[in-house]
Structure 1
Amino acid sequence: MEHNRSRFIVGRIFDETFRVVRADPTKQRYLVRLNEYIAQISRVGNNYNQVVKAINTCLSRNMLPRQIDTLVACTRELKALSEQVLELTKRLREEWLKE
């Protein structure tokens, strides 16, 4: 702490420019949640592979179309959610870069 203070004083004496860095707790929370979301997507991908394997090995030909339709619907929903997260991340990144 003392080192920073003396550096500040010396900088002021010699008229250096200063860059103010401010901590944004919102950014930190968002990044933590984003990392959690990415980890969840990874787990969903693993589960997805297991479901496809189970569909291919265990289900009868009569049940197959209905199960695949359900899987496709869930995949579309997950894709839409991922696109929303991506768009939000892009907007927040632009906001944070303005600072």
Structure 2
Amino acid sequence: METNKNNKGGRKPKLNPSKNRYVFRLTDEENIHFLKLFDASGMANKAKFITTILFQKELKIIKVDVSTMDYHTQLTKLFYQFQSIGNNYNQIVKILYRNFTDKKASLYLFKLENHTKELALICKQIIELTKEFELKHIQKNTDK
């Protein structure tokens, strides 16, 4: 058996290793500010964070507001429920006209129409609450 004498094992060497090292010191206030910026960046490596800032590479900081995300999720679920109601509405109208006389079907449709008006009022309230929520919370967060 032949063994390769050049292969010493271990990691493959990097093509462009970082050999140069710089040290700097921060005051307590500066350190707190630095750590806040580092945490907000979401990066896992402080050295990469510092080089990103030094060489003015694009650094994106994304703030996630859990309450806004939750509101959006619940609103999406409600939207799908409205779609289901619309599908059911169409199916009920077809069934009523197929299985009942015109008079009886019209009576049931009148009741259904009244419930639909109530649902439309609730929908308007949801839209108003959503606009109010956006003005108070979402716009305020983007200004910061």
| TM-score band, normalised by shorter chain | 0.7 to 0.9
Moved over 3 A (4+): 7-11, 19-22
In structure 2, the gaps of 5 or more residues are 1-43
Q: CA deviation at 1:23?
A: 2.8
* Structure with greater proportional helix content: 1
Percent of aligned pairs with the same amino acid: 25
Distance in structure 2 (CA, Å) of the matches to 1:97 and 1:88: 14
Q: Using CA pairs below 8 Å that are at least 6 residues apart, which structure has the higher relative contact order?
A: 2
| In the alignment, structure 1 residue 67 sits paired with structure 2 residue 111 | no
Aligned length: 94
The residue type paired with residue 37 of structure 1 is L
Cα RMSD for the two superposed structures: 2.6
CA displacement 1:56-82 (0-9 Å, x = unmatched): 211123412320111111101110111
CA displacement 1:6-49 (0-9 Å, x = unmatched): 268649xx9xxxx9764321111110100000000111010000
Distance in structure 2 (CA, Å) of the matches to 1:92 and 1:68: 35
The residue type paired with residue 6 of structure 1 is I
Distance in structure 2 (CA, Å) of the matches to 1:33 and 1:7: 40
In structure 1, the gaps of 5 or more residues are none
Residue aligning to 2:66: 25
Distance in structure 1 (CA, Å) of the matches to 2:124 and 2:51: 45
Given the two structures, how large is their TM-score scaled by the length of structure 2? Answer: 0.55
Per mean C-alpha deviation after superposition, the further-off stretch among 21-30 and 84-93 is 21-30
Given the two structures, how large is their TM-score scaled by the length of structure 1? Answer: 0.77
Residue aligning to 2:45: 2
